[in-house]
Amino acid sequence: MAKHHALEDAAQAFRNLGYEYYCLEYSLETPLTLGLGDEHPTEKGFRFDWTLGIPFIPASSLKGVVRLAWLVSHLNNLPSLKEAEDFCQKLTNDKLEEAKRLPEGALALFGCGGDESRRGRVIFLDAYPTELPRLKAEIMTCHYRDYYEGKRGPTEDQQPNPQKFWAVDPFLDEARKQPLTFFFRLLVAPEIARDAAQKEKLLQALEAALRKHGLGAKTAIGHGRFLPGKTSPPTPATKESKGPERPPAGEVWERARLSYNPGSATLTATRGKDKAYLQGKEAVNQLLPADLFKKIVEKRKTADARVTVQDFRITKVEPV
């Protein structure tokens, strides 16, 4: 869970800048094939986190599928067939810069490259499983090898050539009772967060990407589909909202290191790899005893204290 804590810390930094944070849990419904096209001696690669050695979904892959889902939704909502045809022709016209092919809404959310490059206003983070997943062998079979190589037609005398490749098992146990879940995180810039219609389209595109379009390879045969997990449908995360492996209500950290960031007016309690926060100088002033406030806030030093934490939020501080 250390990786999830690191991602939460990164998200907290952006939340301090006014970004709206979403952390959504989805369960894997069908096998997930990642990095099948990566270079590998068997020509059937697989995507692992280089440091942890576990499967993960790169942020760039997630962003690409969400953008596709957004464009498909935009196409389906066009009022006439003529407008839909013009939109498709514009999207597939390689002579046009990407900025001229995409609708303004897509440019605002996802940005674009090229000479007229623009920065997207939504930040996607890598998606990791909540528990160590299992891998399973899947099979793809080429029935008409000579036909695909252009040697002759698809006749029945050609020998099938089964090929195994790895996929993430959607279940954590052999009995197929406990599904594997992933956390999907995204940060929405303040100008997008204030636009209710734009934000709603983004969240709908995210759900469509996970449930209908699928992630990874072999999505045409149903791989890479997700279902909403234990958490509710997409809702903004707050300092009090739930996330991965948060401490239980009222957990006491007997000796936590306290520090204060004057720029974001955030008090941080650190215990090993765990962190909890309290934002707002007035709230910090009300919570900290006078001697600790003077040392930590006014003198900008660190100090140890007995800290009570609920959902990664500091609720009480006592001297040790």
Beta strands in the chain (DSSP E): 20-28, 111-112, 118-119, 122-124, 128-129, 135-142, 161-168, 181-188, 226-228, 251-261, 266-271, 274-279, 303-310, 313-319
Tokens of 264: 């974001």
What phi-psi label fits residue 247: left (phi over 0), alpha (psi between -120 and 50 degrees) or beta?
Answer: beta
Pairing of strands 128-129, 226-228: unpaired
Q: What's the residue count for the chain?
A: 320
Measured in whole angstroms, the distance separating CA 35 from the mean position of its chain's CA atoms is: 17
What is the pTM (predicted TM-score) of this model?
0.68
Rounded CA-CA distance 47/56 in Å is 7
Decide which of 124 and 178 is more confident: 124
22-36, 111-125, 217-231: least confidently modelled range:
217-231
Confidence of residue 284 (pLDDT cuts 50, 70, 90): confident
Q: What is the mean pLDDT of residues 173-186?
A: 89
Q: What is the mean pLDDT of residues 237-255?
A: 57
Q: What is the pLDDT of residue 249?
A: 47
90-99, 243-252, 263-272, 295-304: least confidently modelled range:
243-252
Q: What is the mean pLDDT of residues 229-234?
A: 45
According to DSSP, residue 221 is labeled G
Give the rounded percent of residues in the chain with a pLDDT score beyond 70.
Answer: 91
Asked whether 223 and 32 are in contact (CB, 8 A), the reply is yes
> pLDDT digit string (tens) for 153-169?
988 888 888 888 889 99
For the chain, domains (ranges, CATH) are: 2-129+179-228 (no CATH), 135-168 (no CATH), 251-319 (2.40.50)
Q: What is the pLDDT of residue 188?
A: 95
According to DSSP, residue 259 is labeled E
SS (H, E, C) 143-166: CCHHHHCCCCCCCCCCCCEEEEEE
pLDDT at residue 209 tops 70: yes
Tokens of 289: 């005893």
Q: What is the mean pLDDT of residues 259-285?
A: 84
Q: Closest by alpha carbon to 303, among 261, 275, 269?
A: 269
Q: What is the pLDDT of residue 45?
A: 76
Q: What is the pLDDT of residue 42?
A: 60
Q: What is the pLDDT of residue 113?
A: 87
Q: What is the mean pLDDT of residues 136-152?
A: 86
Q: What is the pLDDT of residue 225?
A: 94
